[in-house]
Structures are given as structure tokens and as C-alpha cells.
Amino acid sequence: MAGIFVKSSKWNLNTLTGNVKLVIAIDIGTTSSVYAYSMSSDLCGVHLNKLWDSGDRGLCSSKTPTCILLSKTFEPIYIGYDAQNEYKLLIDENEEDDYIFVDKFKMELYDAKNISDEMKIDDIKGHPVPAIQVFSSMFSLLKKRIESEIKNIDSRLINNNVQWVLTIPAAWTDRAEFFIRTCAEKAEIHNDNLMIVIESESASVYMHHVFKELPNKYLLIDLGGGTDDITAHRVSKKGKLHEICKPSGNCHGGKHVDKQLFSCLEEIVGKQVIQNLKTKGNFLELLNEFENINYSISTSNAKHIACKFPLPLLNELCRKYRGKEFQEVLNYSKYKTSLFLKNGKLRIHREFIIGFISNVAALVVKDIQFVLKKAKPHDIDTFIVVGGFSNSNVIRDTFENAFPTVSIIYPVSDGDLAVVKGAVLYGQNPNYIKPCKKTANLK
Ligand SMILES: Nc1ncnc2c1ncn2[C@@H]1O[C@H](COP(=O)(O)OP(=O)(O)OP(=O)(O)O)[C@@H](O)[C@H]1O
Ligand SMILES: [Mg+2]
């Protein structure tokens, strides 16, 4: 289907109850975060956050990386690109040990067995930090930015009753949701004004809102950095969305690809080297290089993908803990044909990475098959696929092979913003989706 057509909303701000004049949605992603809002005074619809300036890279983007810089006493300093850029300066000046940098922390709430106010997550150097400080600081810095942005448009609005909406993956437990509410409350986003919605459900609301012609049954699949979120929806005769079964999901997102690559590196050099690497130099740069792998594979046909690599530091650590330099350690490993060094950069064979992506794609296919089974007797023959990882050709080819009779829609624009925009629409009308009673989490 080409392009996105805007159809007039059947539900708009008039459906808001009470004196809510502003709906603000925040989507904290595993990789990157974004917010959007709508104002009752303005019928233009959903506004996306002011673009985020990446700083030295000279780019502006709609989402900012999910990371935070805190002081040693857990005072929030910066989030996103600002946090990354400041942290780099601190490293250059050897002052980074006076600060705490926490990167890509969202999935900690997926993995953790015992989520509580005392829960700790590791900062980039592996030091434990209270999770509540990390999440609540992220919310409070986002809230500050949102408020100043909205004040610039209409200063009266922010004093009104605001409906806040936060998005979470379907795979999260009730405990994780409760924890998020606690963190939001700490950031003065009060529970009475807070709706928590499932990411794929929000995306479905958005797609239903903007697509002129949607089939009356479909799966909405949000493939993000951390999770695959899957929702089965049916459009009723009155044009409302009905859940066919409860949304479900798993930890099968794009990050699974760079995690596999990182595990290879750990297998090659050993745990001690990696632990030391984390505490020295710009480990963040290496993580970001690995994270770009999915994007590099999609946008280039090169036989090898090159990554900036802290070779001098790795050589030093390999000499210390393995008695030889990195190249020699690599030569002794089973990865010696998949990875090699050239001009100080690590080069990785394309097919090797494609193998990693295919592993994740196969897991996502299983998750989809699980939902299709749950959704029986509805024979669903349309998928709408959104989220950054859905841009991967490996993912697309795998879906085509696994579901040859299904019509698969990849929105050409806005696909990565469907979750946050849908969350605003959902906040405007919490009755947008009629829930079903069954539960069906994969976890
Ligand atoms: N062009 C591309 N090709 C392949 N993968 C891509 C592309 N662009 C982004 N990705 C991958 O998409 C993922 C990020 O997607 P997205 O922004 O939807 O995730 P998120 O919202 O941060 O995570 P989640 O929703 O799972 O918490 C990353 O793993 C990234 O590598
Ligand atoms: Mg997402």
C-alpha cells in the first residue's frame, strides 16, 4: 500500500472527559525515545516532539537515544543525545567517573525477576544504580522538555488537567507496569492522570486512524529494538477496534542482533577483557557501532561491515589477560573467518551478521504463529508491520517466505512513530479498543 492517507477521525478530542485539554504520550523505546501531544485548542491533530539535535553528528531526528546522565547523587543531568555528547566530553577530560551514564535501560524491566523499588541496574561501567532513579529521572527530564515546549505554544495549557499516556511492551509483567507507575509518580506524572497502553495496541490505533482502507482483521506487529509486540485486531461494523486476543510479545527485537555480536567478542577475548574494557575509554562508542549494524546491513550491499574498534586498548587488555594481542587471540577463535582487522577497524562478513538477523527473524516468526493460533477461528491474512527493525530486508524476506499467503503492509512513513502517535489518540479516547477477556502472554 503506497503512502499514508489521513481519514477523518471518528473520535477526536471532543470525546475527552472532564477538563482535560492536553494529552501527552511518551514512548520510551529500548533504543530511542519520543513524545507527542495534542491540544484541545488545536484541531490539527497530533504534534510530535521538537526534533532532537544529535550535536556533533549534525543530524536532527524525531527520536533520541534512550540513555541518561546522572550525577553521583542521582541528580538528573541530560538524556538522549545530550547525555551521550556530554559523557564523551567527560571521557576526554577523564572526569567520567564523577558521573553515572546508563544506556538502553528499558529492557532491564523485561529481564528482571524481582522488580521492586530497591532494584538496581548497571551503568555503562557495570556499577549498580537504583532503577527507580534511572526511570524517574528519564520521565522528569522528558516532562521538563515537554512542558517548556508546550509553554512556548500556549502557556495556559500546561496548568490544565493533562492526560499522560505511557507505552509499554506487551511482554511486560504487571509488576513492571506497577514499577513504571511508581517512577512516573516520582516524576510528578500522577497516577490519576496516567494511562498505560501496550505499544502494538497504540500503533494499531494510529494505523486504523490514518489508513483509508484497512481489512477488518489484521495483526499489528511492532518490531522494535527490544521486543516484538503483536496485537490481533478486528474492526467492528461501527468502526471500533476489538481485540481478537490479548496482545503478546517477546524479547525478540533488533538489539538481539548486536547482543549476539557482542557475545562473539566476549567469547573471543574473554570476560575479564570485556569487564575491563567497560571501565576504560569510550565503551559507549563501541556499543553504538555494534548497534548500527542492522542499519548498515540494510543500507549497504558491502561484503563486509566496518566498525570503529578500540584496538590499542583491546591489544593492551588482551596482552594483560590473554598474553597476546587481539589479532592473535582472534586467530585462535572459531570466528577467525567471520571477523578480521583492517586499518584498525573491525570488519565483519555480511553473511555472518545476516545469520544473526535470521536467528531473530525465526524467533519472531514463531511469536507470530503463536498469536495466529490464539486468534483462531479468525483467519487473519493481513499484517501491518511497524518499528525500526521492520526495515530490515532479512526480516521482510523471512516473513514473505514464512507467510506466503499473507498480505504484509509496511507503512512507508511514520512507521516508527505509530506507537507514540497512536498513544495520543488512545489517550484522547480510552474506549478506542474493546478488550477481550482471554489472556495470552508469551512470557
Ligand atoms: N534501516 C534499518 N534496518 C534494519 N534495522 C533497523 C533500521 N533502522 C533501525 N533498525 C533497528 O530497529 C531497532 C530500533 O527500532 P525502534 O526505534 O522501533 O525501537 P524502540 O522503540 O527503541 O524499541 P522497543 O519498542 O522494542 O522498546 C534497532 O534495533 C535498530 O537496529
Ligand atoms: Mg518502540
Mutation to probe ligand 1, out of 109, 294, 350, 419 (largest number of atoms < 8 A from CB): 294
The number of residues making up the chain comes to 443
Q: How many CB atoms lie within 10 A of CB 94?
A: 8
| Ligand 1 atom at shortest distance from the alpha carbon of 292 | 31
Query: Which strands make up the sheet holding 345-349, listed edge to edge?
Result: 304-307, 345-349, 339-342
Q: 257: pLDDT confidence band, cut at 50, 70 and 90?
A: very high
pLDDT on residue 412: 87
Average pLDDT, the chain: 90
Output the residue whose Cα is nearest ligand 1's atom 4: 392
3-class SS letters over 196-241: EEEHHHHHHHHHHHHCCCCCCEEEEEEECCCCEEEEEEEECCCCCE
Output the CA 40–ligand 1 centroid distance in Å. 32
Q: Nine-digit cell at 249?
A: 510479545
State percent of the chain over pLDDT 90.
78
How remote is the CA of residue 152 from the centroid of ligand 1, in Å? 31
Atom of ligand 1 nearest to the CA of 257: 29
pLDDT at 165: 97
Report d(CA 127, CA 304) in Å as an integer. 35
Q: Cα(376) to centroid of ligand 2, in Å?
A: 27
Residue 199 CA to ligand 2 center (angstroms) comes to 7
Residue 168 has pLDDT above 80, yes or no: yes
Whether the predicted pLDDT of 399 surpasses 80:
yes
Mean pLDDT of 253-276: 96
Query: CB under 8 Å to 40, separation ≥6 — which residues?
Result: 13, 16, 20, 21, 22
Those residues whose C-beta lies under 8 Å from the C-beta of residue 433, and which sit 6 or more positions away, are 201, 204, 205, 233, 240, 241, 242, 243, 426
> If you take atom 2 of ligand 1, which residue's CA is the nearest one?
295
Residues in CB range of 158: below 8 A, 6 or more apart: 22, 147, 150, 151
Q: How many Cα atoms sit within 13 Å of 361 on the Cβ side?
A: 22
Alpha-carbon gap, residue 317 to 328, rounded angstroms: 13
pLDDT, position 19: 61
CA torsion 351-353-358-360 (nearest 10°) is 170
Neighbours of 276 (CB within 10 A): 17
- Residue 223 CA: nearest ligand 1 atom is 18
pLDDT above 70: residue 16:
no
Per DSSP, the three-state class of 161 is: strand
Question: What pLDDT, on a 0 to 100 scale, did the predictor assign at position 259?
Answer: 95
Average pLDDT over residues 405-417: 92
CA–centroid distance, 437 to ligand 1, in Å, is 31
Cα–Cα distances in Å, from 276 out to 122, 174, 223, 286? 15, 36, 33, 14
Cβ atoms < 10 Å from Cβ of 141: 20
Q: 118 C-alpha vs ligand 2 centroid, how far in Å? A: 26
Which ligand lies nearest the alpha carbon of 410? Answer: 1
**Ligand 1, atom 21: nearest CA belongs to which residue?**
29
Q: Which ligand has the nearest atom to the CA of 29? A: 1
Per-residue model confidence as pLDDT tens digits over 362-385 = 999 999 999 999 998 889 999 999
Residues 6+ apart with CB under 8 A from 367: 228, 230, 248, 249, 250, 252, 442
- pLDDT-derived band at 59, boundaries 50, 70, 90: confident
Helix (H) or strand (E) holding 350: helix 350-374
CA–centroid distance, residue 62 to ligand 1 (Å)? 13
Class (C level, CATH) for 214-253+361-434: alpha beta
Q: Which ligand is nearest to the CA of 255?
A: 1
Amino acid 2: pLDDT:
26
Q: How far is CA 392 from the centre of its chain?
A: 15
> If you measure from the C-alpha of residue 240 to the centroid of ligand 2, how many angstroms do you get, rounded to a whole number?
24
The number of the ligand nearest the C-alpha atom of 288 reads: 1
- The CATH class, in words, for 13-197 is alpha beta
In this model, does residue 183 exceed pLDDT 70? yes
**If we measure between CA atoms, which residue out of 353, 372, 277, 357 comes closest to residue 321?**
277
Assess whether pLDDT exceeds 80 at residue 15: no
User: 389, 395, 396, 416: which to mutate for ligand 1, most atoms within 8 A of CB?
Assistant: 389
DSSP string across 286-306: HHHHHHTHHHHHHH---SEEE
Best mean pLDDT range from 36-40, 234-238, 407-411, 428-432: 407-411
Q: Which atom of ligand 1 is nearest to the CA of 107?
A: 27
What confidence category does residue 18 fall into, taking pLDDT thresholds of 50, 70 and 90? low
On the question of pLDDT at 413 being above 90, the answer is no
| E-only strand ranges, 56-158 | 60-61, 64-65, 67-71, 76-79, 99-103, 120-122, 128-130
Rounded CA gap, 146 and 311, in Å?
41
Q: Is the peptide bond before 377 cis (omega within 30 degrees of 0)?
A: yes
Q: Which atom of ligand 1 sits closest to the CA of residue 386?
A: 18
Confidence of residue 144 (pLDDT cuts 50, 70, 90): very high
**Cβ contacts of residue 233 below 8 Å, gap of 6+?**
204, 208, 217, 218, 219, 220, 241, 242, 243, 244, 433
Q: What is the pLDDT of residue 436?
A: 83
Best of 220, 295, 354 for a ligand 1 pocket test (most atoms within 8 Å of beta carbon): 295
Using the structure block, give the residue that is written with the C-alpha cell 588482551. 318
User: What are the pocket residues of ligand 1 if the criterion is a CB atom closer than 6 Å to any ligand atom?
Assistant: 29-32, 106, 199, 224-227, 253-255, 291, 294-295, 298, 387-389, 391-392, 416
State the pLDDT confidence band at 8, using cuts at 50, 70 and 90: very low
Does 300 or 252 have the greater pLDDT score?
Answer: 252
* pLDDT tier at 251, thresholds 50, 70, 90: very high
Tell me what pLDDT residue 159 has.
Answer: 67
The letter for the amino acid at 396 is R
**DSSP run (H or E) holding 271:** helix 271-279
- For residue 76, pLDDT over 90 is answered with yes
Residue 435: predicted pLDDT: 86
pLDDT digits (tens, 9 = 90+) for 297-343: 999 899 999 999 999 999 999 999 999 999 999 999 999 999 999 99
Report CA(80)–ligand 2 centroid distance (Å): 15
Ligand nearest to the CA of 67: 1
Residue 163 Cα to ligand 2 midpoint, Å, equals: 21
Which one of the ligands is nearest to 386 CA? 1
The C-alpha cell at 352 is: 555472518
Give the per-residue pLDDT at 119: 96
Task: For residues 62 and 236, give the distance between their C-alpha atoms in angstroms, rounded to a whole number.
Answer: 33
